[in-house]
């Protein structure tokens, strides 16, 4: 196990867990956290390990650290770029990628699901994109989400600021497995990753690359368009005022 900074790793046979580690902040993302995640994911890909992305504590990830964005609106741009890079790296890995989204996967945390070959959650979890109420566009992962869920359901999910539970996430294709309780999500994700890692790696990689090509989910053009849609609102008057409103009064 590596030193426990904002991100740490844990090895379990052919699987490497990359674990977000800000449990006191519900694993809210910071630019350094995303940089560390990207480095670990890219290392995992080079070494041919199966990847499980997880969060330490009661929930997977509550999205961006909006207090940082409130203090300096320019941080939002760094967060969006970092998140896009992490999802892109996950999507492009030849080896299996599983997202263990226990408890809650909100906004940027929900966006991470789009990078996985599989995503798991639990029945009581809360998932979705409430950031549209803050003048922030979740479009940064639009391409990957649409390919996972289908365009109609992705449109509904991204434009509706409400949260759904794990059962609804399973029904609509946001996740592929819904565990009864949150404590089962990470161990079940590791079991799935080990199962997929046991398949013939050349055939797995070739199949995954072909699927990515068909759906365009790993194409630079798609990621850049999605990122540009979100970046276009960074620093606007409405975005700054709505985020500031979280701490008003």
Residue 2 lies in a domain: no
Number of domains in the chain: 1
What confidence score (pLDDT) does residue 3 get? 55
Residue 1 lies in a domain: no
HSE value, Cβ hemisphere, 13 Å, CA-based, for 227? 19
What confidence score (pLDDT) does residue 249 get? 54
Residue 105 lies in a domain: yes
What confidence score (pLDDT) does residue 141 get? 79
Q: Give the pTM.
A: 0.93
Rounded Cα distance, 113 and 121, in Å: 10
Helix (H) / strand (E) containing 218: none
Rounded Cα distance, 212 and 192, in Å: 20
Residue 22 lies in a domain: yes
Residue 150 lies in a domain: yes
Contact criterion met (CB below 8 Å) for 19 and 8: yes
Rounded Cα distance, 30 and 44, in Å: 21
Residue 161 lies in a domain: yes
Residue 86 lies in a domain: yes
In the DSSP assignment, the letter for residue 117 is S
Under-50 pLDDT residues of the chain: 1
- What's CA 228's distance to the chain center, in Å? 18
Domain with 107 in it:
7-247
What confidence score (pLDDT) does residue 147 get? 77
What confidence score (pLDDT) does residue 204 get? 83
CATH number at residue 118: 3.90.226.10
Residue 239 lies in a domain: yes
* 175, 206, 228 from 202: Cα distances, Å: 26, 6, 34
- Lookup result for tokens 């294709």: 173
pLDDT digits (tens, 9 = 90+) for 11-59: 999 999 999 999 999 999 999 999 999 999 999 999 999 999 999 999 9
């Amino acid at each position: 196990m590596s030193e426990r900074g904002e991100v740490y790793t844990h090895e379990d046979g052919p699987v490497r867990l990359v674990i977000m580690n800000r449990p006191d902040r519900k694993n809210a993302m910071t630019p350094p956290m995303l940089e560390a995640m990207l480095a670990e994911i890219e290392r995992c890909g080079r070494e041919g390990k199966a990847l499980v992305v997880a969060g330490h504590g009661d929930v997977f990830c509550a999205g961006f650290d909006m207090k940082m964005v409130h203090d300096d609106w320019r941080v939002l741009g760094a967060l969006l770029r970092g998140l896009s890079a992490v999802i892109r790296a996950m999507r492009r890995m030849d080896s299996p990628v599983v997202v263990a989204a226990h408890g809650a996967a909100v906004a940027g945390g929900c966006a991470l699901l789009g990078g996985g070959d599989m995503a798991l959650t639990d029945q009581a979890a809360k998932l979705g994109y409430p950031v549209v109420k803050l003048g922030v566009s979740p479009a940064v992962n639009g391409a990957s989400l649409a390919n996972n869920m289908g365009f109609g359901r992705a449109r509904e999910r991204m434009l509706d600021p409400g949260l759904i539970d794990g059962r609804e996430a399973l029904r609509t294709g946001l996740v592929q497995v819904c565990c009864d309780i949150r404590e089962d999500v990470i161990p079940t994700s590791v079991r799935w990753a080990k199962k997929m890692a046991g398949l013939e790696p050349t055939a797995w990689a070739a199949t995954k690359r072909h699927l990515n090509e068909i759906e365009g989910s790993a194409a630079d053009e798609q990621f850049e368009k999605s990122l540009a849609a979100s970046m276009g609102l960074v620093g606007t008057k409405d975005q700054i005022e709505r985020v500031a409103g979280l701490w008003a009064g």
